Amino acid sequence: MPELPEVETTRRGVSPHCEGQRVTAVEVRDHRLRWPVPDQLPALLVGQVFQSVERRAKYLLFRTSAGTLLVHLGMSGSLRLVPQGEPPRRHDHIDILLQNGLCLRYHDPRRFGCCLWLERGELHPLLGKLGPEPLSANFDGKYLYGCSRGRKGPIKNFIMDAKVVVGVGNIYANEALFLAGIRPDRASGRISRARYDDLASQIKQVLTTAISSGGTTLRDFVGGDGKPGYFAQKLFVYGRKGEACKQCGHTLRETRLGQRSSVYCVTCQR
């Protein structure tokens, strides 16, 4: 599933070509996404100018004076800019034609994403209960420590809870916990403030590095410029069960937390 760095990479890839551009036409080939694409979407978008392209958690927000196009890439979705008139591939469900001659094309083989419309000033329920952005100033060790008091669940599940902090998906949770030296199954309420300071710092660093590298290469993800990311080359633990720890040489182990794979080092993480 595209995670925060992949979505941010997409935002950075498409925004220079979309911001300030008027929508000239919209074609919806398949309305059957996770939530149906509104029938009135073409009528609402045509003639509008994309004032900005923003990101909130894993959602992309295309702002206009009339409202906002809310896009989520789901498990396999991507947004790409192609020349108008380029024939659609299979699973190219939505085309948004722009005044500059480009087409913003939404591709989603599994159809778990969404393209919804928000009226001006409307706060969609999908955005209403989200925690802070991990790269913002109000996300730090003090915040995590306060939220964790009294919790008995695993630390990995805690930092992947979007109500606590948005955008820390499975890949980056594994990596940040390794770099902070914390076992993924340790109770979140039993971790000290100092270790939360380090964890918050590592989350920021891992995500920042992934964004600068273009996101993690996943089978289904293609960035906004059509190029995959390369952060996967730098992974310490994710997807490396049974391999040697790059830090100490011991064999990495795997456990399951919240139905997700968690790889860790018994020597480096405690």
Residue 157 has a pLDDT of 97
Residues annotated catalytic, as ranges: 2-3, 58, 260
How far apart CA 94 and CA 5 sit, in angstroms, is 23
How far apart, in whole angstroms, are the C-alpha atoms of residue 132 and residue 198? 18
For the chain, what is the mean pLDDT?
92
Mean pLDDT of 248-266: 95
Instruction: Quick: pLDDT tens for 207-230.
Output: 999 888 876 655 444 455 555 565
Residue with tokens 């994403």: 113
Q: How confident is the model at residue 54 (pLDDT cuts 50, 70, 90)?
A: very high
**Between residues 248 and 219, the one the model is more confident about:** 248
Residue type, 93: H
Domains and CATH numbers, the chain: 4-128 (3.20.190.10), 141-264 (1.10.8.50)
Q: How far apart are CA 220 and CA 217, in angstroms?
A: 9
DSSP state of 167: S
The predicted structure's pLDDT at residue 217? 53
- Tell me whether residue 151 is annotated as binding: yes
pLDDT of 41 higher than 50:
yes
Please tell me whether 32 is known to bind a ligand.
no
Average pLDDT over residues 245-264: 95
Q: Is 110 annotated as belonging to a binding site?
A: yes
Question: Stretch 192-206: mean pLDDT, rounded?
Answer: 98
pLDDT-derived band of residue 138, with 50, 70 and 90 as boundaries?
A: very high
- Mean pLDDT throughout 153-163? 97
* Closest to 216 (Cα-Cα) out of 232, 201, 198, 199: 232
